[in-house]
Amino acid sequence: MPANLTPQYFEAERKYRAAKEIPEKIAALEEMLTVMPKHKGTDRLQGDLKRKIAKLKAEAQRKKGVKRQFGYRVDPEGAGQVVLVGAPNTGKSALVARLTKAQPEVAPYPFTTRAPTPGMMPFENTAIQVVDLPPISEGYVESWVYDVIRRADLVLLVVDLAADPLAQLKAVEAILRQNKIGLLEEGEGSGWLNKRAIVLATKLDLPEAQETLELFGELMPSRLPLLAASIPSGEGLEELAQRLYQALEIIRVYTKAPGKEADRGSPFVLPAGATVEELAGRIHKDFLGRLKYAKVWGRQTFQGQMVQRDYTLHEGDIVEFHIDQRQEAS
Ligand SMILES: Nc1nc2c(ncn2[C@@H]2O[C@H](COP(=O)(O)OP(=O)(O)OP(=O)(O)O)[C@@H](O)[C@H]2O)c(=O)[nH]1
Ligand SMILES: [Mg+2]
């Protein structure tokens, strides 16, 4: 059956071919789909267009939060930002693909990744952002990679149990040190930045990985916590999520209105040691000015204890704010 495509369709198709950005492409494809005659003869074409749209939407989603401007920048999202740093082919992209909905390219050869890919890893009632990065190696590393690492909350240093994990760790650590990022030594001086890091040894499922892990554990600098995992089997990944959360040094707190229950599904995430005042400020600036006191339910307080604005919050606390009802500006 002929498709009987109309001039409007061909016009939309022309727009699609001319489109440079993903949103324009999606819009043109959607227009093609709308103006196309719908009958048996166009079933196949409709299917093709829908698939193309779905693919572009997925791509747009992946690129969200990544800004390209003299390199890249990754907007932080969720409870904390963890960057994956390591030698080529160690499994960084495979890990992001396994832990999140992001789909960075995974390949059995080195230097696959060229741009950052963030993804959100669900953790209990919150999510941690994990960012796939290009490898760090003796060869050329673009300077934006170091900028992304500097801005992150935590480094996950990925090494490969099928290679020489100790050599990889030393090499990566040395390159970062040359770029004034310290993982092991607390360096000082202008531009120097010490970053918290956890080491993850991957490919625990491969033959002799267990022996390599034991040896590596004895030889590696003991300052860094060491975890191991198999990405295909998922072994060790639950513990990884727990340890990442702990290492981010954050707390989840909840708010409630007087006489109502707290919404346990959506925590506020704050740095450990944050006060009632910081929580109020996070909610609204005006709120902060009018805050009189708060009541806190938690393990460190008796239930509904009245506290002042400088009160230090703890993981799981529920906070009820009491504000000055007068509207006058302070
Ligand atoms: N058996 C096994 N293979 C793994 C594991 N993790 C990663 N791989 C494989 O190792 C290869 C490299 O994985 P990638 O995720 O592309 O590595 P990468 O660190 O992102 O590599 P670059 O982008 O080059 O830095 C792929 O063939 C993966 O399937 C693992 O835990 N076990
Ligand atoms: Mg990669």
pLDDT digits (tens, 9 = 90+) for 92-149: 999 999 999 999 999 999 889 999 999 999 999 999 999 999 999 988 788 899 999 9
Average pLDDT, the chain: 90
Whose CA is closest to atom 13 on ligand 1? 91
Taking the C-alpha atoms of residue 101 and residue 145, their distance in angstroms, rounded to an integer, is 22
Q: How far apart are CA 267 and CA 297, in angstroms?
A: 14
- Mean pLDDT along residues 265-280: 93
Assess whether the C-beta atom of 92 lies below 6 angstroms from ligand 1.
yes
What is the Å distance from ligand 2's center to 3 Cα? 43
Give the closest residue to 237 by CA, choosing from 43, 65, 99, 71: 99
CA of 160 to the centre of ligand 1 (A): 9
Minimal-distance CA residue to ligand 1 atom 6: 91
**Range 86-118 burial, b when 16+ CB lie within 10 A, else e:** bbbbbbbbbbbbbbbebebebeeeeebbebbbb
Range scoring the smallest mean pLDDT among 27-31, 187-191, 275-279: 187-191
Enter the tokens of residue 215: 């040896």
What are the DSSP E strand ranges found in the chain? 66-68, 72-74, 81-86, 117-123, 126-132, 154-160, 181-182, 193-194, 197-202, 226-228, 250-256, 268-271, 291-297, 305-307, 318-323
Task: Tell me, using a 6 A CB cutoff, whether residue 231 lines ligand 1.
Answer: yes
Asked whether the beta carbons of 70 and 32 are under 8 A apart, the reply is no
- Among 133, 73, 59, CA closest to 101: 59
- Strands 66-68 vs 117-123: parallel, antiparallel or unpaired: unpaired
Rounded Cα distance, 273 and 98, in Å: 32
On the CB side of 172, how many CA atoms lie within 13 Å of its CA?
A: 28
Mean pLDDT, range 270-284, rounded to an integer:
91
Pick from 231, 235, 237, 240 the residue to mutate for probing ligand 1's pocket: most ligand atoms within 8 Å of its CB: 231
**∠ CA 117-170-215 to the nearest 5 degrees?**
105
Ligand 1 contacts CB of residue 115 (under 6 A): no
Q: What is the pLDDT of residues 23-61, one digit of tens each?
A: 899 999 999 999 888 888 888 888 999 999 998 888 887
Residue 88 in contact with ligand 1 by CB distance below 6 A: yes
CB count, 10 Å around CB of 35? 16
Total number of residues shown for the chain: 330
Residues 6 or more apart in contact with residue 160 via CB below 8 angstroms:
86, 87, 89, 90, 91, 168, 201, 202, 203
Q: In whole angstroms, what is the distance from residue 282 CA to residue 284 CA?
A: 6
Pocket test for ligand 1, best of 83, 84, 85, 90 (most atoms within 8 A of CB): 90
Q: Look up residue 261 and give its two tokens.
A: 């229950």
Give residue-wise pLDDT tens across range 117-131: 999 999 999 999 999
Judged against a pLDDT cut of 90, whether residue 184 lies above it is answered with no
What pLDDT digit, counting tens, does each position of 203-260 carry? 999 999 999 999 999 999 878 999 999 999 999 999 999 999 999 999 999 999 888 8
Residue 6: is its pLDDT beyond 50?
Answer: yes
Q: Does residue 168's CB lie within 6 angstroms of at least one atom of ligand 1?
A: no
Judge if the beta carbon of residue 237 lies within 6 A of ligand 1: no
